Amino acid sequence: MGKQSSAIRNRLRRIEGQVRGIAQMVEDDRYCIDILTQIQAVKSALAKAESEVLKQHAACCVAEAIASGDEAEQRTKFNELVDLFERARR
């Protein structure tokens, strides 16, 4: 993934800092709506990170499976994606 991997790592580090900030807000007994607003921001940031990783998976792993012509590998990658989306709906 290279450059994209670095961007994803940076995004996750920012999220990590946001989560630490939320924990501090809870410890400081900050206003609940402010805490909830920050939690929503983290959820949104995680969704963006998830989307980037998914795009990379499609561009790299899935594309390689398609290019390989190996039907078993193609089926495996397809099933991985279906399983992922099914877990997300639960």
Query: What pLDDT score was predicted for residue 81?
Result: 87
Shortest CA distance to 38 belongs to which of 59, 57, 20, 56?
Answer: 20
Instruction: Say if CB 63 and CB 79 are below 8 A apart.
Output: no
What are residue 31's phi and psi, to 5 degrees?
-60, 130
CA distance 19 to 74: 37
Domains and their CATH numbers in the chain: 3-89 (1.20.58.1000)
pLDDT at residue 89, rounded to an integer: 79
Question: Does pLDDT of 2 surpass 70?
Answer: no
pLDDT at 48: 95
pLDDT digits (tens, 9 = 90+) for 36-85: 999 999 999 999 999 999 888 888 888 888 899 999 989 999 899 889 88
Q: pTM (2 decimals)?
A: 0.78
Q: Which pLDDT belongs to residue 59?
A: 86
- Name the strand (E) or helix (H) holding 48: helix 32-57
